[in-house]
Structure 1
Amino acid sequence: MISRRKKFLSYYKPYIGWVAADMVCALIVSAVTLALPLCARYITKNILEENAPDALTQIFAVGVLMIALVLVHTLCNMFVDYQGHRTGALMESDMREELFEHYEKLSFRFYDEQKTGHLMTRLTNDIFWLSELYHHGPEDLTIAALNFLGTFIILLNINVGLSVITFLFLPLMAIYAFYFNKRMNLALRRTKDRIGDINAQVEDTLAGIRVVKSFANEDIERSKFTIENDRFVASRSEGYKSEAYFSGGMIAFTQLITVVVVVFGGVSIVNGSLDLADLVTYVLYVGILVEPVLRLVNFSRLYQEGITGFSRFMDMLEIAPDIEDAPNAIDLHHVRGDIAFHRVSFKYKEDYHDVLRDISLDIKAGEYIALVGSSGVGKSTLCSLIPRFYDVNKGQILVDGYDIRDVSQQSLRQQIGMVHQDVYLFAGSVAENIRYGKPDACDEEIVEAAKKANAHDFIVALPDGYNTDIGQRGVKLSGGQKQRLSIARVFLKNPPILIFDEATSALDNESEKAVQASLEALSEHRTTLVIAHRLSTVRNAQRIVVLTDNGIDEEGTHDELIIRGGTYANLYNVQLRI
């Protein structure tokens, strides 16, 4: 696995040309910064002190040179500021895209354990600070190092003794900086965790805002948010305190250096070992010496913010998907729809009990199978194993004779259409949501799919027809309307295998009849698995499979199972009495 250091540097590679140009401009900025005080020293020492006969001409000439240097300095600074930030933003975009693609590769098992708010924080806030580090880091270090080194050499040439006294402060500054840097890093890590907690709380509350309002529990949610918000403020306050100590202390050191230079420089002038022009130049360079220190202070802050974000970014990126395609995975084409479970066992975690144990089931192409049983016996889990949302712990599942672990996930899932009880529709128009089943579908295909799903009539009655915006998760539609859109989406996909996961259990009778008619039309000539809550909806199934905690308890048609008087008959009679 690539080291984190190499991974960090790898994001520079696509933009190395712009980074090089940025560094060249940073070098020019540093050189001009060092040259300007030398020009001032030339005027005071070589022209004014020596009373040159053409002093005015020389002063104007040096002034023109200084203006030219300032112009170059400004242009290079503007390039560094704009292009550097732009390059940082492009690198940020690359990282965000890479992490988003990685999120898509992770299985349901991963998302069962994660909070959406935490995942969003790593995708947005953490990576933003990384872009600042990528941009400012190299230029701040380059300019600071060159300014510091150049200033050090020039000051030694002006007065060795004064320079030695000045640079005695540096070891103390380094120790001070190291200590508070460490404190800042710990505080920033806690802060990023707290931001994730806030995002998770907000996402949870807003996603369930209708439940919150229906129970009039706004105060409870506000209280939970306040707790997370206060934790964030406390962690941020600790970070600000460390940053204040760090920044304030470093600035105090630089001011002390200025005081020492003025005092000991004055003494040197009195003793005749330093002239006034050199002292003025020396003070100017001490001012320049402050700039690299401040840049290093800024770099230290950016480094702590950025590297903490990078660590959290890599923590997520290094999570390997637990479901991956086999090295030589094949693509499924022209699937008939035969499905076979061979002694399949499954549990969600190692220390959990088996949800499914030793399940064997053969389903023929085009067969209509109903899965029934009490809640928690594994009906939905059984269906989730077919498209490899989870991998079996034991046994194997075959589609058309192929072990699904030897088949590419994409080609497998393209052969399966799923209609869930909890319909998820995306923000956007009706047409966009139906087209999700086949992204390259034309308008005529979308309308045809809607008609097959008994959705066309209500769609054309909407304010903008197929272009009507349905809101977040389709909140502007009824439950039956949302369900029929999800069915239209599957009609458009046109898969040979269908899975209906209690698709009508949450609907009223009228909506259920409309949706049931759509489902029956969709299932014609396709292998169909239906998870049924209302047993009356599966009376016409070719085979009913009854699941219990011990596995498959019985199989048969509705009439056969009623006559047998077993588990299915008991469930059916209970529902009749309700």
Structure 2
Amino acid sequence: MLEKKWSENQMKIFIKLLPHLKPVISSIILGIITGIMNQGAAIACSAYGAYLVSLAILGAAPHAILIGIWVLIALVVLRAVMSYAEMWYAHKAAYGILAHLRVKLYRAIEKIAPSYLMNKRTGDLSSTLMSDVETLEWFYAHTYGAAFIAVIVPVIVLAVIAVLIHPYLALVLIPWLFLTVTVPFWFQNRAEVDGRKIREGLAEVNSEVVDGIQGIREILSFGYESWYLKKLRNANKCLSAVQRKYGSRQGIETGLLNFFMSAGLLSVTIISVYLIKNGMMDRQWYAVSIILSIYVFTPVVAIGTMARSFGIMQSSTDRVFTVLEMPETVKDMVEVSKPLQNKLSVEFDHVSFRYKEELPLVLKDVSFRVSPGETVALVGHSGSGKSTCANLLLRFWDVTEGCIRVGGQDVRDLKQVDLRNIVSIVPQDVYLFNCSIKDNLLLGKQNATDTEIYEAARKARIHDFIISLPNGYDTEVGERGVQLSGGQRQRIAIARALLKNAPILLMDEAVSNLDTKNEGELREALQELSKNRITLVIAHRLSTIMAADKIVVLENGTVAQTGRHEEMILRDSTYSRLIRTQYAKMV
């Protein structure tokens, strides 16, 4: 029963991983061939060397010994060449596949983001992308080749022992070989549980470390060093406990493997002495029989040693394929996007939305329209649904009911890449990559000329600052743009949107990190940018709200009010109460 369960579990791993071997199948085949030749050469070297020693002890002619030495040298050279070739081909295949898997993982995350990322810690996700994928190197570089060798080599060696020396020796080895093969089966359930706990523990520790690095300023500012270290120690303590348990099981398996192997060798020794004493085997074959018996067990013990870690590998495989096999959040419904109207508009038509079936509606029957050249501000308390509207427009999720139209077409009738190509985004929380300012700006338009980049930066009121830096546009901004202030990062994001020059502009309070002077200057650029294009603003500042052509007030996921600031502020309404509450000092 245990053997059946073990086999089923391991077959699941092999079935999942084998399709990824296709791109490097030639390297895999060559790795297996050279691996078998490497083992064969190693066995021939050891066995033939023992045979020569036995001949020398028994007084063989020096000429015969000298010829044998040259043969042995040739076998040693062959073994060295095959050992190198086996490692080369096995790791060439393994690392090529790992790189392929990481790319597939990232592409899978692109398809399921941002919904998948909402419930995932950065450290946990990076652990899957790096550590879990790296664990699969055991399979690709070592396990699949070793599995073939563990089956082929012992059979060949047993046949050689039976034919060349004596069949009794082969027969006495078979029971011990069988017991050695079955050892991993005995502990598989425990290995799977412990392996899963180790991968989860490693991911937890990794997440805590990433949290600590990203939040180091807050930890130091609030004097929470001891609190954070306690959390980290607790995570490490839990991981260490599972690792000790896992190591204990591995130790027992290793002891059993060595015991059965030693018992097999002892049996061969006893039988060999008996056969020689009774004249049934020549004395020069005694040492050879011991050497060959060792090599009957060696590949099996090697695969058994790897099998001890199958619990960790299975857990890593499950974590990787959980991401790879997760269904896309949204799918392209068409192969080619339907044509759009010349003058684009954005329309929310009775849109309702919930993130999951078991959760309540976040948006309820929301309807509004943004006409060509119009700026519409979405306002409301936190959680009213403003950001959800933006995410649905970009089709990070699909609406539950109703539809969103861009240029007269349902966004589901557009390919995702085409939809997002016609939208420029200026987020409130700007993410900059750890590269140069110029490279970050080129995200807006990859083939932009220097002149276009400088012009966009001037309009965003960031050019003068950039050229004042020692390396100008080639200045590295650091991870997440840490070298720049919040306002500077936001102006780079605005320059990036200006460079993209898409017909729809989506802004999440793009001036929130700017002082009054810079805000006024930048607003002029944004007003110029907004001409002849759709602008949808998630607004918090009163100055931004007042500049909009139309205001859509959201309350508890519904449209509570629509109009202009001058009209709605005079009435006792949701909008006027919102303004009085949040901007009383400014009105």
What TM-score, normalized by structure 1, do the two folds share? 0.92
Match of 1:20 in 2: 29
**Distance in 2 (alpha carbons) for counterparts of 1:339 and 1:38:** 80
Call closer, same or farther: CA 1:43–1:431 in 2, change over 3 Å: closer
Call closer, same or farther: CA 1:491–1:33 in 2, change over 3 Å: same
Match of 1:39 in 2: 48
Instruction: Select 1:193's aligned residue among 177, 189, 200.
Output: 200
Query: 1:200-211 residue pairs with structure 2 within 5 A?
Result: 200-211=207-218
Match of 2:90 in 1: 84
Match of 2:504 in 1: 497
Call closer, same or farther: CA 1:239–1:102 in 2, change over 3 Å: same
Match of 1:29 in 2: 38
CA contact (8 A) 1:343 1:394 kept: yes
Superposition deviation, residue 415 in structure 1: 0.9
SS in 2 for 1:539: helix
Instruction: Select 1:235's aligned residue among 242, 251, 257.
Output: 242
Call closer, same or farther: CA 1:540–1:32 in 2, change over 3 Å: closer
**Distance in 1 (alpha carbons) for counterparts of 2:13 and 2:334:** 26
Query: 1:398-409 residue pairs with structure 2 within 5 A?
Result: 398-409=405-416
1:468 aligns with 2:475: yes
Structure 1 stretches (4+) deviating beyond 6 angstroms?
Answer: 44-48
Match of 1:388 in 2: 395
1:314 aligns with 2:321: yes
1:295-327 CA-to-partner distances (Å, cap 9, x unmatched) read: 222332464443432222212111011211103
Instruction: Select 2:484's aligned residue among 470, 477, 482.
Output: 477
Which amino acid in the other structure matches residue 31 of structure 2? D
Call closer, same or farther: CA 1:564–1:45 in 2, change over 3 Å: closer
Match of 1:351 in 2: 358
**Distance in 1 (alpha carbons) for counterparts of 2:174 and 2:569:** 95
Which amino acid in the other structure matches residue 137 of structure 1? T
Instruction: Select 2:226's aligned residue among 215, 219, 239.
Output: 219
Match of 1:557 in 2: 564
Instruction: Select 1:448's aligned residue among 451, 455, 474.
Output: 455
Match of 1:120 in 2: 126
CA contact (8 A) 2:498 2:529 kept: yes
Superposition deviation, residue 174 in structure 1: 3.5
**Distance in 2 (alpha carbons) for counterparts of 1:479 and 1:173:** 63
CA contact (8 A) 1:345 1:392 kept: yes
Superposition deviation, residue 335 in structure 1: 5.5
1:95 aligns with 2:101: yes
Most deviating of 162-171 and 418-427: 162-171
Superposition deviation, residue 272 in structure 1: 4.0
SS in 2 for 1:152: helix
Call closer, same or farther: CA 1:163–1:395 in 2, change over 3 Å: same
Most deviating of 460-469 and 450-459: 460-469
SS in 1 for 2:584: helix
**Distance in 2 (alpha carbons) for counterparts of 1:364 and 1:131:** 55
CA contact (8 A) 2:378 2:552 kept: yes
CA contact (8 A) 2:180 2:261 kept: no
Which amino acid in the other structure matches residue 252 of structure 1? F
Match of 2:9 in 1: none
Call closer, same or farther: CA 1:355–1:231 in 2, change over 3 Å: same
1:309-367 CA-to-partner distances (Å, cap 9, x unmatched) read: 22222121110112111034416667523111111111222232222111111221111
CA contact (8 A) 1:133 1:303 kept: no
Match of 1:365 in 2: 372
CA contact (8 A) 1:483 1:515 kept: no
Q: Alignment length, in residue pairs?
A: 573
In the alignment, structure 2 segments of 5+ residues that lack a partner are: 1-11
**Distance in 2 (alpha carbons) for counterparts of 1:573 and 1:194:** 49
Instruction: Select 1:426's aligned residue among 433, 441, 458.
Output: 433
CA contact (8 A) 1:332 1:411 kept: no
Call closer, same or farther: CA 1:174–1:24 in 2, change over 3 Å: closer
Match of 1:323 in 2: 330
CA contact (8 A) 1:340 1:397 kept: yes
SS in 2 for 1:58: helix
Superposition deviation, residue 39 in structure 1: 3.5
SS in 2 for 1:124: helix
Call closer, same or farther: CA 1:265–1:12 in 2, change over 3 Å: same
1:84-131 CA-to-partner distances (Å, cap 9, x unmatched) read: 212211111111111111111113222112222222112111111212
**Distance in 2 (alpha carbons) for counterparts of 1:522 and 1:261:** 87
Match of 2:420 in 1: 413
Call closer, same or farther: CA 1:568–1:264 in 2, change over 3 Å: same
**Distance in 2 (alpha carbons) for counterparts of 1:265 and 1:550:** 86
CA contact (8 A) 2:341 2:408 kept: no
**Distance in 1 (alpha carbons) for counterparts of 2:268 and 2:478:** 67
CA contact (8 A) 2:30 2:89 kept: no
Call closer, same or farther: CA 1:248–1:411 in 2, change over 3 Å: same
SS in 2 for 1:422: coil
Call closer, same or farther: CA 1:437–1:35 in 2, change over 3 Å: same
1:56 aligns with 2:62: yes
Call closer, same or farther: CA 1:212–1:43 in 2, change over 3 Å: closer
Superposition deviation, residue 41 in structure 1: 6.8
**Distance in 2 (alpha carbons) for counterparts of 1:290 and 1:555:** 80
Call closer, same or farther: CA 1:411–1:46 in 2, change over 3 Å: same
CA contact (8 A) 2:385 2:557 kept: no
Instruction: Select 1:138's aligned residue among 130, 137, 144.
Output: 144
Match of 2:552 in 1: 545
Call closer, same or farther: CA 1:445–1:536 in 2, change over 3 Å: closer
Which amino acid in the other structure matches residue 226 of structure 2? D
CA contact (8 A) 2:35 2:82 kept: yes
Superposition deviation, residue 5 in structure 1: 4.8
Which amino acid in the other structure matches residue 76 of structure 2? V
CA contact (8 A) 1:129 1:306 kept: yes
**Distance in 2 (alpha carbons) for counterparts of 1:558 and 1:235:** 61
Identity %: 32
**Distance in 2 (alpha carbons) for counterparts of 1:411 and 1:334:** 14
Call closer, same or farther: CA 1:328–1:45 in 2, change over 3 Å: closer
**Distance in 2 (alpha carbons) for counterparts of 1:4 and 1:162:** 36
**Distance in 2 (alpha carbons) for counterparts of 1:307 and 1:243:** 16
**Distance in 1 (alpha carbons) for counterparts of 2:433 and 2:256:** 52
1:41-63 CA-to-partner distances (Å, cap 9, x unmatched) read: 765778875x76xx222221122
Call closer, same or farther: CA 1:97–1:335 in 2, change over 3 Å: farther
Call closer, same or farther: CA 1:364–1:223 in 2, change over 3 Å: same
Match of 2:6 in 1: none
**Distance in 2 (alpha carbons) for counterparts of 1:411 and 1:331:** 10
Most deviating of 385-394 and 559-568: 559-568
Most deviating of 233-242 and 146-155: 146-155
Call closer, same or farther: CA 1:400–1:299 in 2, change over 3 Å: same
CA contact (8 A) 1:346 1:355 kept: yes
Match of 1:161 in 2: 168
Superposed CA RMSD: 2.4
Superposition deviation, residue 506 in structure 1: 4.4
Match of 1:67 in 2: 73
**Distance in 1 (alpha carbons) for counterparts of 2:381 and 2:41:** 79
